[in-house]
Chain A
Amino acid sequence: MRDNESQGDDRQYITFIANGQEFASNIMAIREIRGWTDTTALPHVPDYVRGVINLRGMVLPVVDLKARLGLGMTEVTPKHVIIVINTGTRQSGLLVDAVSDIITLGAEDIQPPPDIMHCGGDNFIDGIAVRDGRMVTLLGIEGLTVTLN
């Protein structure tokens, strides 16, 4: 409905779960969703970089979202999912617990993050949406993977 009414404002998001918490990301930044495959570890990288995988001939670094948010390493199972993100020229993977849904949010649904979060470090939270009483954190995924470049 909303898609029909205001095409310019509505955006599609993919929601996913990490550390039991629901996050969302703009669908246009996402290239692909894959099941978990074992990674090849890299030396001298931050602990949230799990390593690299081979995606149809292209080497792709994988970032553990939970570790990236400073919440500890994820215990991986075959049910875990890698979201392949396309940031301009570079692609990278993001390890999450599961992908939940594809949702559409209008600008009015999104609230900016509280000022207190600007105190320090990288700011990769675009805003917070409330859906069916649940809080969904909108992540700027490009920001998450910027440091890799």
Chain B
Amino acid sequence: MRFKDLPVSKKLVGVFTCILVVTAALGLFAVSSLSKMNDATADIATNWMPAIADLGRYEYFMTRYRVAQGNYVMATTDEEHAAQVKNLQIYLPQADENWNKYLPTVTTAEEKAMAEKIVAARAAYDPMQAKVEEILKTQGKDAAIAYFQGPMKAAFSVLIAAADDDMNFNQTSGKAAADKSQTVYGNARLLIFIALALAIAFCAAAGYALMRAISAPLRNMTTAMGELAAGNLQTHVPHADQADEIGQLAEAMTGFKNQLAAAERAKEEQTQVIVASIGAGLDHLAKGNLTHRVAAELTGDFAKLKRDFNEAMTRLQDTMKKVLGATTEIETGAGEISQAADDLSRRTEQQAASLEETAAALEEITATVKKTAANAKDASHSVTDAKAAAEDGGRVVETAIHAMDSIAQSSRQITDIIGVIDEIAFQTNLLALNAGVEAARAGEAGKGFAVVASEVRALAQRSSEAAKQIKALIQTSGQHVDNGVKFVGESGEALKRIVDQVLQINALVSEMAMAAEQQSTGIEQVNAAVSQMDQVTQQNAAMVEQSTAASRNLAGETKTLSNLVGFFAVGETARAAAAPKKPYARQAPQAPRPATGGARRVATSAASRAASAAPDSDWTEF
């Protein structure tokens, strides 16, 4: 029960914390196992493996050194000795270098002892080189070889054996480290599997507990809420005894259920009030009482209903008041319409009289216009005659021009002939002069001939003079003829212009005649229109009488309407305002009516109107 009472957040946090702890422990264990494996592998890689390699190389170079020593001892010439001494100097430092590389990897005490052994063997072997060189120099080659194969070989074997031991030790140690790493990996895998199984089991248990504690109660609550939503207010709300959020939710739901039930009851009461108050209002409306208003206190949408109802009543009341007012005005209007109809009738008669006068005047105009048309036709005939006369004049002028041209032609021919005569006179003169000259040359014998010649010359001169005079005369008459031609031409032009103008006059006069005829036709149409207007005016007079009767009927109907509207009670203030207005409105237009009616009766002498005027006055008193 303790877990059940915890809040949902704490439940969730607790379960997830446990899972986190298990996962973290598992992770830490795996990390430590991995680091152990890593240490072993690093030991193999940095300690044992390089030691084996360095020792191997050391041994190799020492062996080469030994071979070089052998060759040195065996050498026969000085060059070979020198070459081998060079080799010795190369190999020994290389062996020392590898040995120095190896020394840092010496870790354990056992290995240290082995290393010291190697150092000791080396210390024993190194001086032997000097000794063998000495033997070679002092005792000869064979003694040196014997020393090289004897004590020196034994010392070198000790050194190599010690190095091999050390190498074997390093190899064995590396393998031991690898085995150790393998073991650590196996243990760690087993432990991690166990821890994983435990974590899965724990998580499953926690999930089941959470489901029991949260999901199941929520499902029950959902079912209960569905019932409530369906309207079942008697539903039991489960899990109300729990102390967590679900318990709180159940309590809130119980409160909600109780509130819903209370609201249902309040709504029923409200409905009762609404039906009662609105029913009463509608009852008043049916009886025609528009002053009633709903006074009950209503809430929510029903308040709006009340407001709307009251507003509708107010509007209706106002409208009815206005209808009453309008009815009164309609009565007034009907009286005015009657009077206007009388006036209209009188004016219509005046109009008819004016129309008759108009018709008479139009007939006079028609006669005048017809006369004008006849005159225009006469003028047209006269103009045509004038035109013919002018055209005859034109022909005469043309003939005269032709005659003048002939004269001018003859004059020119005469001038030519005169020229010939003049020429003959000139030649004759010359001949006479020549004759005179001949006569003078002849002296006394030519005297008579000279006289004849001078006579001929005088004749020639006279004929020349005469020819000149005739030429001048002909030129003058030619000029006169030219002038005559010009003047006759001008008079011909003038006659042509006269003809043209006469033609224009003729066209204008014809147009005038046509226009006069059109006017005549138009005036006849106007006449017809006027008579039609006369007829229409008569019809209008009849219609005016009908409209007068109709306006009286309208007044009667308006009274009926007023009575009907009076059924509605529209409140004291409205009735007080409308009541005094009515009599004034009705009587004001009626007062002048008998006076105008009387005048009209005298003027028109219409019996029917006198008859209709009597009920009119009766109705006014009513």
- Residues of A participating in the B interface, judged by any CB pair closer than 8 Å: 3, 12, 14, 27-28, 30-35, 79, 81, 99, 102
- Whether, in the assembled complex, B304 has its beta carbon less than 8 Å from a beta carbon of chain A, the answer is no
B459 CB to closest chain A CB (Å) equals 15
Contact call B454/A32, Cβ cutoff below 8 A: no
Which residue in A14, A31, A35 is a CB contact (below 8 Å) of B426?
A35
Which residue in B430, B440, B450, B454 is a CB contact (below 8 Å) of A33?
B430
Contact call B433/A28, Cβ cutoff below 8 A: no
Contact call A33/B437, Cβ cutoff below 8 A: yes
- Whether, in the assembled complex, B436 has its beta carbon less than 8 Å from a beta carbon of chain A, the answer is yes
B610 CB to closest chain A CB (Å) equals 126
Q: Which residues of B contact A81 (CB under 8 A)?
A: 430
25 contacts between A and B (CB under 8 A): A3-B447, A14-B436, A14-B437, A27-B436, A27-B441, A28-B440, A28-B441, A30-B437, A31-B437, A32-B434, A33-B430, A33-B434, A33-B437, A34-B430, A35-B426, A79-B426, A81-B430, A99-B429, A99-B430, A99-B433, A102-B433, A102-B436, A102-B437, A102-B440, A102-B450
Which residue in A3, A14, A79 is a CB contact (below 8 Å) of B433?
A14
Contact call B433/A35, Cβ cutoff below 8 A: no
B243 CB to closest chain A CB (Å) equals 163
Q: Which residues of A contact B612 (CB under 8 A)?
A: none
The list of the 6 closest CB pairs from A to B, nearest first, reads: A27-B440, A102-B436, A12-B440, A33-B433, A33-B434, A30-B437
Instruction: State in angstroms the CA–CA spacing of A4 and B427 once bound together.
Output: 31
Contact call B426/A32, Cβ cutoff below 8 A: no
Contact call B427/A35, Cβ cutoff below 8 A: yes
Q: Which residues of B contact A99 (CB under 8 A)?
A: 429-430, 433
Can you name 6 extra interface pairs (CB under 8 A) apart from A31-B437, A35-B427, A79-B426?
A27-B440, A28-B441, A30-B437, A32-B434, A33-B434, A34-B430
Q: How many residues of B contact A (CB 8 A)?
A: 13
Interface string of B407-446 (1 = CB under 8 A from A): 0000000000000000000110110011011001100000
- Closest chain A residue, CB of each to CB of B436: A102
Which residue in A3, A27, A35, A79 is a CB contact (below 8 Å) of B437?
A27
Instruction: State in angstroms the CA–CA spacing of A33 and B437 once bound together.
Output: 9
Q: Which residues of A contact B437 (CB under 8 A)?
A: 14, 27, 30-33, 102
- Closest chain A residue, CB of each to CB of B447: A3
Q: Which residues of A contact B447 (CB under 8 A)?
A: 3
Interface string of B7-40 (1 = CB under 8 A from A): 0000000000000000000000000000000000
A15 CB to closest chain B CB (Å) equals 11
Q: Which residues of A contact B441 (CB under 8 A)?
A: 27-28
- Closest chain B residue, CB of each to CB of A34: B430
Q: Which residues of B contact A32 (CB under 8 A)?
A: 434, 437
Which of B429, B433, B436, B450 has the most C-beta atoms of chain A within 10 angstroms of its own C-beta? B433
Q: Which residues of A contact B430 (CB under 8 A)?
A: 33-35, 81, 99
Q: Which residues of B contact A12 (CB under 8 A)?
A: 440
Interface string of B69-81 (1 = CB under 8 A from A): 0000000000000
Q: Which residues of B contact A34 (CB under 8 A)?
A: 430
Instruction: State in angstroms the CA–CA spacing of A102 and B451 once bound together.
Output: 11
B416 CB to closest chain A CB (Å) equals 15
A65 CB to closest chain B CB (Å) equals 17
Instruction: State in angstroms the CA–CA spacing of A30 and B435 once bound together.
Output: 12
Instruction: State in angstroms the CA–CA spacing of A48 and B436 once bound together.
Output: 28
A72 CB to closest chain B CB (Å) equals 25
A131 CB to closest chain B CB (Å) equals 16
- Closest chain A residue, CB of each to CB of B433: A33
Q: Which residues of A contact B434 (CB under 8 A)?
A: 32-33
Instruction: State in angstroms the CA–CA spacing of A113 and B98 once bound together.
Output: 174
Q: Which residues of B contact A31 (CB under 8 A)?
A: 437
Instruction: State in angstroms the CA–CA spacing of A31 and B437 once bound together.
Output: 7
B434 CB to closest chain A CB (Å) equals 5
B342 CB to closest chain A CB (Å) equals 117
- Closest chain A residue, CB of each to CB of B441: A28
